[in-house]
Chains A and B, each alone.
Chain A
Amino acid sequence: MAAVKETVDQVREIDVDQYKYGFVTDIETDKAPKGLNEDIIRFISAKKDEPQWMLDWRLDAYKRWQTMQEPTWARVNYPEIDFQDLYYYAAPKNTEGLKSLDEVDPELLRTYEKLGIPLQEQEILAGVSEENRVHTKVAVDAVFDSVSVATTFKEELKKAGVIFCPISEAVKEYPELVQKYLGSVVPVTDNFYATLNSAVFTDGSFVYIPEGVRCPMELSTYFRINEQNTGQFERTLIIADKGSYVSYLEGCTAPQRDENQLHAAVVELVALEDAEIKYSTVQNWYPGDSEGKGGIYNFVTKRGDCREKNAKISWTQVETGSAITWKYPSCILRGENSVGEFYSIAISNGRQQIDSGTKMIHLGKNTSSRIISKGISAGRSENTYRGLVSAHKKASHARNFTQCDSLLIGDQCGAHTVPYIESKNASAVFEHEATTSKISDDQMFYCRARGIGEEEAVALIVNGFVKDVIQQLPMEFAVEAQKLINISLEGSVG
């Protein structure tokens, strides 16, 4: 199996503590003063040249945030965050008003090149071997600290009627759409981090797929936090109008730093009648070193609304990075017959802490949802699956299937499963299956007795464990995700 071998070769090249994307880009930055107050929010809004309604929306959120408490129910431990000791806006200089890729700072282009992200408008090649390479176009929006530095294939997408642009641009260019949908899935008051994000969000992607359009290519956004002591607050809004389809991928990396960095994003998805959104994430924020120093605090609110009948939203996530992950991509199944899916691989190693899962909220008749969660814990990490499945009174014949598997590598890590199931309708059928297993010594011995070395054996067993979820990723990214998984588990045996 070439993929396994390739991943193992890749693993060998990398030292235990070496995070591949840990470099810092040396670039002149425009920053807001440290700390958070109304003036900072006005500063951000002015930088983005926003209309008054957007500023008012932010200020309302800020007022609300000041009355809120940080949530403490998640199974994660970290020192108190001083929200006044952060920068809320940092942007590479000379990124305003660029007309084309040619005008982007070459240092930034090199950064994305190093990250393996194509900012040239060309077909990308992915795949394990020559014969099964996939030729596809992927449109990319690259967000660097607080601003979007480039968006590719914009013109080609426009011809199909698809809008794909930085959200800061959408606020100015498509105010009706933004005003109609922003905050309609994750309300301003939703939770501490979402409210903070509403006040200070800087950039992110905006996608609108018009009625009946199948988006002609994969859309993706790559988030990069570069500046020290800077929070990244991105906001993504995707609207799939009636009968449309879009597949979207999000990737994230950050430099290796001793301090913790805060990332608090909000992603809202709206799927109207017969529309489908497939949202995939490959999260590879810097996880901190093996002793738990540094790393990203990732507090993210992601939610999709199947607003009308027959809508479908599918979340797939591969979580390998961050010191702390607090993330529950969810689906509100409002429309009749709507479908929500959540496929997740969450890997923790070193001192990483993950509290992640999903909420499937069944409001409409005949709605169905499916949850497949695969947690892998190694090192001294803690990995918690937390999931809610609920059926409203009117959600007759709602169905859910949940499968939640944990795999432990070594004996110093923890795996926890916290399912919440609430049904107010007697015709709802919810199924839950959970397993916890260890890569057993017997499995390792069996593989080794057949000639397979230790690291390759772990890769083989783990790849078998996560196969159901990897299959859900767009093919171009499945290979990448598989490699990432093996790299994340580097040094977990022996």
Chain B
Amino acid sequence: MLEIKNLHAEVEGNKILRGIDLTIKAGEVHAIMGPNGSGKSTLSYVLAGKDDYEITEGEILFFGEDVLEMEPEERAAVGMFLAMQYPIEIPGVANMTFLKTALNAQRQTRGEPELKTPDFMKRVKELSAKLNVTQEMLRRPLNVGFSGGEKKRNEILQMALLEPKFCVLDETDSGLDIDALRIVSEGVNALRSEERSMLIITHYQRLLDYIVPDVVHVMSQGRIVKSGDKDLALELEEKGYADYTGGAAA
């Protein structure tokens, strides 16, 4: 589904990604762990197509298509989704309006008809109930005044509604208490399927107790330095990242 080959990226001349190689097959859930500044969030933004990053080498293929040639909105329409670490507030735009605009924009790009309002409402209602997103949150301006947990639940709601093929979850666990973490994880697990892959970026092993990955990667200084199964996460929890950063234990 997704192939990243020798990807190098920099911001304002600072080299952040220094040759990432990663292949994710349909239905797989991969986790990327690593210390602060290792380039995890940069990788997520580069996948989504944020402007500030310059790709100096390498390629990203999604079902064989060159992702780096696509605008962010085109990537979304072909089924790539990034659940952001810091969801953005948009005053005056009702959450529900945003959801509908996004869904129909993607459908339009794919040449599909718009979803009729009653069908849309029904769908949102079902999904929001599962994620404990209240009617009030749907009426409020997008993310404005939402708590950390509300913002993250809202990201997962968008993911569930847009039904992407490949999802990146960037530190979705940060700022969540244990109950919120459970709700979000259940939401994510419900979306796991043979056709859908995920890349989960996190600092902590805790999230991986709930969303059990097929593969765990350790990222350090812009490279993937080790890959293994879910036990690698436990090992990291115990020993820290010291073995991979070349420095002393934190």
Interface stretch, picked from A330-338, A345-353, A457-465, is A457-465
Q: Identify which of A451, A454, A464 contacts B90 (C-beta below 8 A).
A: A464
A452 to B87, CA, bound (A): 16
- Chain B residues 66 to 83 lying within 8 A of chain A, measured CB to CB, are 71-73, 75-77, 81-82
Q: Which residue of A lies closest to B89 (CB)?
A: A443
Residues of A within 8 Å of B73, CB to CB, are 448-449, 451-454
Of B82, B90, B103, B106, the most chain A CB neighbours within 10 A belong to B90
A456 to B97, CA, bound (A): 13
- Chain B residues 144 to 162 lying within 8 A of chain A, measured CB to CB, are 158, 162
Q: Identify which of B50, B84, B87, B162 contacts A451 (C-beta below 8 A).
A: B162
Residues of B within 8 Å of A158, CB to CB, are none
A450 contacts the other chain (CB 8 A): yes
Would A1 and B101 count as touching, CB distance under 8 A?
A: yes
Would B72 and A448 count as touching, CB distance under 8 A?
A: yes
A133 contacts the other chain (CB 8 A): no
Would A448 and B90 count as touching, CB distance under 8 A?
A: no
Given A1-B97, A464-B91, A464-B93, A450–B102 Cβ distance below 8 Å? yes
Would A448 and B101 count as touching, CB distance under 8 A?
A: no
Would A464 and B141 count as touching, CB distance under 8 A?
A: yes
- Chain A residues 261 to 293 lying within 8 A of chain B, measured CB to CB, are none
B109 contacts the other chain (CB 8 A): yes
Given A5-B104, A451-B105, A456-B101, A465–B92 Cβ distance below 8 Å? yes
Q: Which residue of A lies closest to B48 (CB)?
A: A449
Residues of A within 8 Å of B49, CB to CB, are 448-449
A445 contacts the other chain (CB 8 A): yes
A5 to B77, CA, bound (A): 17
A377 to B188, CA, bound (A): 41
By secondary structure, the A interface counts as helix
B88 contacts the other chain (CB 8 A): yes
Given A443-B90, A464-B93, A449–B82 Cβ distance below 8 Å? yes
Residues of A within 8 Å of B76, CB to CB, are 448-451
Residues of B within 8 Å of A442, CB to CB, are 88
Q: Which residue of A lies closest to B103 (CB)?
A: A451
A297 to B76, CA, bound (A): 45
B217 contacts the other chain (CB 8 A): no
| Contact string against A for B residues 21-59, beta-carbon threshold 8 Å, 1 for contact and 0 otherwise | 000000000000000000000000000111110000000
| Contact string against A for B residues 85-126, beta-carbon threshold 8 Å, 1 for contact and 0 otherwise | 001101111000110111111100100000000000000000
A102 contacts the other chain (CB 8 A): no
Given A441-B51, A445-B72, A452–B90 Cβ distance below 8 Å? no
Would A443 and B105 count as touching, CB distance under 8 A?
A: no
Would B84 and A467 count as touching, CB distance under 8 A?
A: no
Minimum C-beta distance from A336 to chain B (A)? 35
Would B162 and A450 count as touching, CB distance under 8 A?
A: yes
Minimum C-beta distance from A343 to chain B (A)? 15
A446 contacts the other chain (CB 8 A): yes
A4 contacts the other chain (CB 8 A): yes
A460 to B91, CA, bound (A): 10
Residues of B within 8 Å of A456, CB to CB, are 101, 105
Would B105 and A464 count as touching, CB distance under 8 A?
A: no
A451 to B75, CA, bound (A): 8
Would B91 and A4 count as touching, CB distance under 8 A?
A: no
A1 to B71, CA, bound (A): 23
A383 to B102, CA, bound (A): 31
Given A450-B158, A453-B73, A443–B88 Cβ distance below 8 Å? yes
Q: Which residue of B lies closest to A4 (CB)?
A: B101
Of B75, B88, B106, the most chain A CB neighbours within 10 A belong to B88
Of A4, A441, A445, the most chain B CB neighbours within 10 A belong to A445
Minimum C-beta distance from A431 to chain B (A)? 19
Q: Which residue of A lies closest to B76 (CB)?
A: A451
A448 to B93, CA, bound (A): 15
Would B50 and A445 count as touching, CB distance under 8 A?
A: yes
A162 to B2, CA, bound (A): 71
A446 to B90, CA, bound (A): 10
Residues of A within 8 Å of B88, CB to CB, are 440, 442-443, 445-446
Residues of A within 8 Å of B91, CB to CB, are 464-465
Q: Which residue of A lies closest to B82 (CB)?
A: A449
Residues of A within 8 Å of B51, CB to CB, are 441, 445
Given A451-B77, A460-B93, A464-B92, A446–B84 Cβ distance below 8 Å? yes
Would A451 and B102 count as touching, CB distance under 8 A?
A: yes
Minimum C-beta distance from A127 to chain B (A)? 15
Residues of B within 8 Å of A448, CB to CB, are 49, 71-73, 76
Minimum C-beta distance from A468 to chain B (A)? 8
A456 to B104, CA, bound (A): 11
Of A449, A466, A467, the most chain B CB neighbours within 10 A belong to A449
Q: Which residue of B lies closest to A461 (CB)?
A: B90
Residues of B within 8 Å of A449, CB to CB, are 48-50, 72-73, 75-76, 81-82, 84
Q: Identify which of B81, B98, B158 contacts A460 (C-beta below 8 A).
A: B98
Q: Which residue of A lies closest to B45 (CB)?
A: A445
| Contact string against B for A residues 388-413, beta-carbon threshold 8 Å, 1 for contact and 0 otherwise | 00000000000000000000000000
A442 to B236, CA, bound (A): 33
Would A463 and B92 count as touching, CB distance under 8 A?
A: yes
Residues of A within 8 Å of B84, CB to CB, are 446, 449
- Chain A residues 213 to 257 lying within 8 A of chain B, measured CB to CB, are none
Pairs of residues from A and B, 7 with the lowest C-beta to C-beta distance, nearest first: A464-B92, A451-B76, A464-B93, A451-B106, A448-B72, A450-B102, A446-B88
Residues of B near any A CB (own CB < 8 A): 48-52, 71-73, 75-77, 81-82, 84, 87-88, 90-93, 97-98, 100-106, 109, 141, 158, 162
Question: Can you report 18 residue pairs joining A to B where beta carbons are below 8 Å apart?
Answer: A1-B101, A5-B101, A5-B104, A445-B72, A446-B90, A449-B72, A449-B75, A449-B81, A450-B76, A450-B106, A452-B73, A452-B105, A453-B73, A461-B92, A461-B93, A464-B92, A464-B141, A466-B92
Knowing that A448-B76, A464-B90, A464-B93 are A-B contacts, what are 10 other residue pairs whose CB atoms are under 8 Å apart, sorted by A's residue number?
A1-B100, A449-B50, A449-B76, A449-B84, A451-B162, A460-B90, A460-B97, A461-B93, A465-B92, A466-B92
